[in-house]
Amino acid sequence: MKKRTLGFWEIWNMSFGFLGIQMGFALQNANASRILQIFGADVHELSWFWLIAPFMGLIVQPIIGHYSDNTWTRFGRRKPFFLLGAVLASIGMILIPQADFMIAILPALWVGAGMLMIMDASFNIAMEPFRALVADNLSDEQTTQGFSVQTALIGVGAVVGSWLPWMLSNWFGVAKTSTDGTVPENLLWSFIIGAVVLIGSILITIFTTKEYSPEELAQFEDEKAHQKAIEEDGEERKAKLTDIFEDFRKMPETMRQLSWVQFFSWFALFGMWVFAVPAIAQHIYGLPPEDASSETYQEAGNWVGILFGIYNGVSAIFAFLLPVIAKKISRKKTHALSLFIGGIGLILIYFMPNENWLILPMVCIGIAWASILSMPYAMLAGSISPKKMGVYMGIFNFFIVIPQIINGIIGGPLVKYAYDNHAIFALVVSGISFIIAGLLSFKINDKKDKVLNA
């Protein structure tokens, strides 16, 4: 029995919640470093605070994946998890820019870090089931299209999230600076609006998308692969949380090959997200890193938000081209080429003469980002059993968060001691890391490429 072929708008609605998730994620990516600097963090300390995000992913996603695989309710299999994640993330988004109002309890910097932890844990609760939902509901022939549509929605949400502080200040006159060293009003309102959009978009997916029942999914599964799994285990048994370690050991070959590509890709992304604002403020605007509260530094931060919106906008457009390109040259070659272009873009930032020229590198980064959000998941989905979709999507997240943890530990000291406090070199290293990931993509054994080319 084959899965039903879904129409474009069914696929769109199924992934629509990711628009809100990514809007919140983009607000965090573009502004968390700036908020923490306002609260008193030094530039070389930023990567340590950002360690919260990958640690939350390392812990939360495999656990949520396991339970979403094995928890069936009348509300669905994946839906309850990403609704819970959306509610908790919204609370964190509302509170993080207002952490300075809670300094009677703890220092504002640590309250801000705590809210960052709540947001990251919650985003992870919401994200993993969404990835698994696409793989659950789509056939092999539609998987690439499904993740591409998801990537497009991620791009739209990220554009709005990245540009929102700038739009509020320039279009609606909301204050973009504060005189007392607190978070500006345009950031406060941006996070509140982002929280509302997050909840609303998740509800659209919940009310418009039907999940397959356990009985239906069992009929779709490859019977030979299922029988082989039974023979290896000796008997069918109820899944346990500790099975995650055994699943990790038995991960498919394609997943192992993708793990190295993911490692270098996300090492690069973490460096860009953490150090983009201080790097551009210093290298392009000529500002010292300790000047985070000045009006010019805030303008640089707002411009970085615009730039992040540009690369996400490019990714939203390029996502629709990915299935076409992948069908012509294969998914792994498409991914490799995209990563090469992104790596060149990051390195080009060093050579740009002014802030307007930075649009060019962002176009290149957007192409890589579109592929990172879709191609690895499309290749992975075709190599794992539907019964293990959630847990393997969670385990796959190890290879996203571990490189971020490593970069978070060494990134700050490298900027301080190896780069002499010139954060721009963190972006150059990120570009080189993208190129390495592109080279490793050629080693991937994508068994489902034959479906694309059939």
Quick: pLDDT tens for 329-351. 999 999 999 999 999 999 999 99
Question: Based on the structure, what is the number of domains in the chain?
Answer: 1
Q: Cα–Cα distance between 4 and 216 in angstroms, integer?
A: 11
Regarding pTM above 0.75, the answer is no
Q: How confident is the model at residue 440 (pLDDT cuts 50, 70, 90)?
A: very high
Residue 3 inside a domain? The answer is no
What value does the mean pLDDT take over residues 301-314? 86
Residue 2 inside a domain? The answer is no
Question: Average per-residue pLDDT in the chain?
Answer: 81
- Indicate if the pLDDT at residue 263 is higher than 70: yes
The pLDDT of residue 85? 87
The pLDDT of residue 454? 37
What value does the mean pLDDT take over residues 414-423? 89
Q: Average the pLDDT over each of 136-140, 242-246, 326-330 and give the range with the smallest value.
A: 242-246
Residue 182 backbone class (left: φ over 0; alpha: ψ -120 to 50; beta: rest): beta
Q: How confident is the model at residue 231 (pLDDT cuts 50, 70, 90)?
A: very low
- Indicate if the pLDDT at residue 111 is higher than 50: yes
Residue 222 inside a domain? The answer is yes
8 A C-beta contact, residue 220 and residue 3: yes
Q: Cα–Cα distance between 289 and 37 in angstroms, integer?
A: 9
The pLDDT of residue 237? 46
Residue 432 inside a domain? The answer is yes
Residue 154 inside a domain? The answer is yes
What value does the mean pLDDT take over residues 91-116? 69
The pLDDT of residue 198? 93
- Indicate if the pLDDT at residue 7 is higher than 60: yes
Residue 305 inside a domain? The answer is yes
- Indicate if the pLDDT at residue 204 is higher than 60: yes
Residue 108 sits in a domain whose CATH number is: 1.20.1250.20
| Model pLDDT for residues 348-385, shown as the tens digit of each residue | 999 998 999 999 999 999 999 999 988 998 888 777 76
| Highest mean pLDDT out of 26-30, 99-103, 202-206, 434-438 | 434-438
- Indicate if the pLDDT at residue 187 is higher than 80: yes
Residue 102 inside a domain? The answer is yes
- Indicate if the pLDDT at residue 390 is higher than 70: no
- Indicate if the pLDDT at residue 169 is higher than 80: yes
Q: Cα–Cα distance between 368 and 402 in angstroms, integer?
A: 20
| Model pLDDT for residues 64-91, shown as the tens digit of each residue | 777 777 777 777 888 888 888 889 888 8
- Indicate if the pLDDT at residue 52 is higher than 80: no
The pLDDT of residue 109? 62
What value does the mean pLDDT take over residues 122-134? 78
What value does the mean pLDDT take over residues 52-59? 73
The pLDDT of residue 235? 42
| Model pLDDT for residues 281-302, shown as the tens digit of each residue | 889 988 876 666 677 877 888 7
Q: Cα–Cα distance between 340 and 33 in angstroms, integer?
A: 27
Residue 437 inside a domain? The answer is yes
Range of the domain at 203: 8-452
